[in-house]
Amino acid sequence: MLTAIADYPFSALLGIIIFLACLKFLRFPASPGLLATYRRFPVVARKVVNPGNDRPVIFLTVGVSTESLPTGAHVKLRAFVNGEEIQRSYTPTRFNKGECELMFRVYPNGPMSNYLAGLRVGGTLEMRGPTGLERYGSKGPGTFTRSEREWSGITHIAMISGGTGVTPMLQIINHVLQDKLDPTHVSLLSFTTAVSDFLLKDELEELKEGSNGRFMFQFVCSRAAPGGPHKNIFLGSMRNLKADMLVELLGVPTGDTTMVCICGPDGFTDHAKTLCKQHFTNVLIW
**Quick check: 187 pLDDT over 90?**
yes
- Region 29-46: mean pLDDT is 87
Per-residue pLDDT, averaged over 206-231, amounts to 80
Q: How far is CA 21 from the centre of its chain?
A: 34
Query: DSSP code of 107?
Result: P
Q: Tell me: domain 134-285, CATH 3.40.50.80, correct?
A: yes
**Of the candidates 96, 93, 85, which has an alpha carbon nearest to the alpha carbon of residue 60?**
93
| pLDDT of the residue at 270 | 94
Say which range, 61-65, 95-99, 201-205, 216-220, has the weakest mean pLDDT: 95-99
Separation in Å, CA 95 to CA 73, 91, 125, 132: 11, 10, 17, 16
Pick 17 or 240 by higher pLDDT: 240
- 95-112 average pLDDT score: 87
Give the pLDDT of residue 14: 57
The distance between the two most distant Cα atoms of the chain, rounded to a whole number of Å, is 79
CA 149 vs CA 36, 92, 129, 134, 143: distances in Å: 23, 23, 21, 10, 11
Of the candidates 112, 128, 104, 121, the one whose C-alpha atom is nearest the C-alpha of residue 42 is: 121
The pTM (predicted TM-score) of the whole model is 0.79
**Which pLDDT value is given to residue 12?**
56
Q: Is the pLDDT of residue 5 over 80?
A: no
Query: From start to end of 63-199, where are the E strands?
Result: 74-81, 84-90, 94-95, 100-105, 124-131, 134-136, 144-146, 149-151, 156-162, 185-192
Highest average pLDDT, of 13-17, 27-31, 102-106, comes from 102-106
C-alpha angle 236-237-240 in degrees, rounded to nearest 5: 90
Q: What is the mean pLDDT of residues 89-101?
A: 84
Alpha carbon distance 262, 69 (integer Å):
20
C-alpha distances in Å from residue 210, one per residue of 71, 142, 170, 200, 272: 20, 20, 14, 15, 29
What is the third-level CATH fold of 39-131? Elongation Factor Tu (Ef-tu); domain 3 (2.40.30)
Q: Indicate whether 116 pLDDT > 90.
A: yes
**Residues 189, 218: Cα–Cα separation, whole Å:** 5
Domain ranges of the chain: 39-131, 134-285
pLDDT of residue 32: 78
The confidence score (pLDDT) of residue 70 equals 86
Question: Is a pLDDT exceeding 80 seen at residue 26?
Answer: no
pLDDT of residue 150: 96
Q: Could you tell me whether strands 57-62 and 100-105 are parallel, antiparallel, or unpaired per DSSP bridges?
A: antiparallel
Instruction: Examine the pLDDT at 63 and tell me if it is beyond 90.
Output: yes
Res 152: pLDDT: 96
